[in-house]
Amino acid sequence: MGLIDFILNLAGLLIWLNWRALRFPLPATQLSRSLLGTLRRAEPGRGRHWRYLLALAALLFLRALLYWEIGSAVHWTPHLNLGAISLPFRSDSGGRMLLFSMLSFLVVLATLYFWLLLLSMVNRAVPDTDSLQRLVRLHLGWVERWPAPLKLVLPPLATLLLWVLFSGPLTRLGIVPPPASMGHTFQLGLVIGLATFLTWKYLVAGVLLLHLLSSYVFLGKSPLWTFINTTARHLLWPLRWLPLRLGRVDLAPPAGIVLVFLAAEFAPRWLTELYQKLPF
């Protein structure tokens, strides 16, 4: 069931990206050179873009019914991993499954935009002639024009606001214990917000692994590999002062990957312990 939820989240994400792509001021020939260029651009049907949102809403609602019907039969208890805490949802309740369906997709969608923010910050000097970086900027929209420090704090702040918004319903449903005060709620949201930085580990590790592969294996001159190598060099910038080159062998990518895995191993434990100690 967990795999099904993941696949359906990806399907919902593709629907969302199709909807967003309708608004991009790029010719189809330029979009076709990017990874997401295969997404349909139905120019004559711009007024019907609401159909994508309707399809997304239908997907989230119908899969909630599926989870409700099948989840209890197979004794499945879905969990929503927020880094510092994991929220359980009983599958024998249709309302809880609908809430889980929406929140599960929201987490995946937020993760995508957090990735885009990271790519926007590290590649801020990359010109728009790079089709993939331009695509990142188009998806971010007006947020792309924000200064890098503001983009950096946006994930935890947005998560804090969402936690304040949803903590009431989650408490009434018994999914999380009631907070001691509004200050306690803000403290919990802040810790969960800090955990959003952990979502970058998958992107950073993936980019560095692909960069390491392309460093030793010629994979062509695709714009994708140019984008991957440029992004990897920018991500490895903090390690530039370390003696990580032995002849022709560059140890910076492996060192970066090791640091990512160390952070992924220890940071969640620290955040969980901090969450359990609240309120201060």
State mean pLDDT over 270-279.
Answer: 91
User: Number of helices (H) and strands (E), helices first, in the chain?
Assistant: 10, 4
CA 44 to chain centre: 31
Is this structure's pTM higher than 0.75? yes
The answer to whether the beta carbons of residues 82 and 175 sit under 8 Å apart is: no
| pLDDT digit string, tens, across residues 41-61 | 444 455 567 889 999 999 999
Which two structure tokens, joined as six digits, stand for 144?
């792309």
- Per-residue pLDDT at 27: 52
Q: What is the pLDDT of residue 44?
A: 46
- Give the mean pLDDT of 9-28: 83
pLDDT over threshold 50, residue 158: yes
Judged against a pLDDT cut of 80, whether residue 35 lies above it is answered with no
Query: What's the pLDDT tens digit per position in 224-253?
Result: 989 999 999 999 998 888 887 777 778 888
